[in-house]
Structure 1
Amino acid sequence: MPLLTQNKRIERVTSTAELFSKHPHLKERAQQFVSRSPEAVDTKQLLYVQQRECAATTPADNSVSILGSDDATTCHIVVLRHTGSGATCLAHCDGSSTWTEVPLIVSAVTSRSNPAKEGRLELHLVGGFDDDRSTSHSLSLSILAAFQKQKEEIQLETCCITGESSLYETLTERFCPSSGVNVKTGQVFPASFTCRGPAEELRSARTFSGAEMVEVYDSSRELVKIDPCRWTPNNDMAFWLSQDDETILQYLSTSPHAEPPHFVHHIKSTIQFLLDHPTADGLFPGGQPQLYRRAEDGRWKRA
């Protein structure tokens, strides 16, 4: 089935500029989106989604009201929601395996939707900017093409991506495309987060080591689930801990001029975690996943 917007088919395009030219309402909506100030998200309602992760749930969830992610400089945040069931998935895509990730996102929503419920699938895309290597632009086109290949009919509602996702005209300013989605209401909005857990460093280490996208939430049990993963010991990484910020930005970022202020600290803490845990075996006793449940104080606690 085709990818649609305002019930009109979106044909394959060769650039995001062509997309916005053919569908100017998408550009207007993108400009409206970035003009809004980010909303601070209450940690007690949030499930934060890291790079190369996705999470899905429904309005019946008593532990999660908001799915959110940020730091989408060359990455894209993808939100797919069924208006009838309210089933919602948020993913943070970096282009590592778009053609397998998009079906995973669609399946996460359709599997949680009652076929008898009337409604439609609505898509929201946020992230990317016009970087020198066109990394974002290529990802934008790949995501659009992958959704066009799905058998389900999907309506593109928000397209705040490469060319329209930045509040800034130059790369001298740092920006941080972000998005949250209220699972109860379906509202998609710019968001800010003070917590990126649970198990932030472990999840970051998994991605840093090259793992594929995974679904990190079991909505039926309302548990964050981190499955066993593997990485190879590499003491050479210690080299980066002594490097200055500019060096790390230059060599370990796809967008060195656009990263948020906490990027270098995040990279160094992830590397230190990998050095402290040369293998992941001890983090998953008996080969079992790490599980986290929402505690009475609103924090995620090890189950």
Structure 2
Amino acid sequence: MPLLSQNKRIERVNSTAELFSRFPHLKDGAQQFVSRTAEPVDPKHLLYIQQREFAVTTPADNSVSILGSDDATTCHLVVLRHTGSGVTCLAHCDGSSTWTEVPLIINAVTSSSSSSTVKDGRLELHLVGGFDDDRRISHSLSLNILAAFHKQKEEIHLETCCITDMNDVIKEGIHRPVVYGIGVNVKTGHVFPASFTCRGPAEELRSARTFSGGEMVEVYDSARELVKIDPCRWTPNEDMAFWLTQDDETILQYLSTSPYAEPPHFVHHIKSTIQFLLEHPTADALFPDDQPQFYSRMEDGRWKRV
């Protein structure tokens, strides 16, 4: 089935400019979206999604009210929601494997929705991320994500499309994203620009998995309301210590897809991830008996390992 907007089929496009030219209401919606101030999200209600992760939950979840993610420069943040069941997914896609990631996202929502007593409704899609970067990484990812959703058998309605050229601003002569992060209220389906002070639980472990080449994974068991981190693998690499001695500019140039557009904490995040990998040359001891790590929401709102 096709990707739709206002019940009109979205054919394959060769550029995001062509998409917004054909569907000016999407352009208007993107302009409204970037004009909004990022809302700070209370960590007590948040499940934070890191790069190459996704999570799915329902309005009945007592532990999570907001799914959120940020630090998206060339990356895209994808929200898919079934309007009948309220089942909601948020994914942080970096282009590493778009054509396999999109079916994972759709299956996660449709399988959870099929078990719901509410059958009526439709799948609604919200895309936010990217900017007009010099290497056009954002542009390619935008087109690939749209094409991947277009190829699925399900009928999907594109509601928000704040991507690439519509999420771009020039500051001091440098292109940057306007919106770096979003949240989605799983009770209402409201999608909004967002900022976060907490990116856990197990922030460094999850970052290490992605930094070491891990593929897209689901990080939440909504039936048990537990964050679930499956066993992952990496090999010892003492050469990484080299990066801890480098200045910020060098790290940005070599370890970022968009060195002039990264948020201020990017270098610290990279160094803390590398330090974690050096302190844990393999992940074996982090997953005793090859079992996942689980985290439960405590009464004070923190995630605690269980």
TM band (smaller chain): over 0.9
Distance change >3 Å, CA 79–CA 95, structure 1 → 2: same
Decide which of 184, 195, 201 is 1:192's aligned counterpart.
195
Q: Which structure 2 residues correspond to residues 175-214 of structure 1 after superposition, within 5 A?
A: 177-214=180-217
Root-mean-square deviation over aligned CA pairs:
1.2
Gaps of 5+ in 1: none
Distance 1:175 1:286 in 2: 44
Distance change >3 Å, CA 264–CA 164, structure 1 → 2: same
Contact 1:70/1:179 (8 A) holds in 2? yes
Distance 2:187 2:170 in 1: 32
Matched length: 303
2:129 counterpart residue number: 127
Gaps of 5+ in 2: none
Distance 1:13 1:286 in 2: 49
Decide which of 264, 267, 271 is 1:264's aligned counterpart.
267
Distance 1:111 1:26 in 2: 28
Q: Which amino acid aligns with 1:35?
A: S
Q: Stretches of 4+ moved more than 3 A in 1?
A: 167-170, 172-176
Q: Name the TM-score, length of structure 1 as normaliser.
A: 0.98
After alignment, is 275-284 or 107-116 more displaced? Answer: 107-116
Distance 1:148 1:291 in 2: 35
Decide which of 130, 140, 156 is 1:138's aligned counterpart.
140
1:51 counterpart residue number: 51
Contact 1:175/1:259 (8 A) holds in 2? no
- Provide Cα deviations, 1:183-210, integer angstroms capped at 9, x if missing partner: 0000000000000000000000000000
Distance 2:118 2:56 in 1: 20
Q: Which structure 2 residues correspond to residues 49-198 of structure 1 after superposition, within 5 A?
A: 49-113=49-113, 114=116, 116-168=118-170, 170-171=173-174, 177-198=180-201
Q: Name the TM-score, length of structure 2 as normaliser.
A: 0.97
Q: Which amino acid aligns with 1:287?
A: D
Helix, strand or coil at the partner of 1:112: helix
Does 2:292 align with 1:293?
A: no
Decide which of 251, 256, 266 is 1:253's aligned counterpart.
256
Q: Aligned-pair distance for 1:242?
A: 0.7
Contact 1:34/1:166 (8 A) holds in 2? no
2:24 counterpart residue number: 24
Distance 1:144 1:199 in 2: 32
Contact 1:53/1:215 (8 A) holds in 2? yes
Q: Which amino acid aligns with 1:251?
A: Y
Distance 1:173 1:131 in 2: 8
Distance 1:70 1:231 in 2: 25
Distance 1:71 1:234 in 2: 26
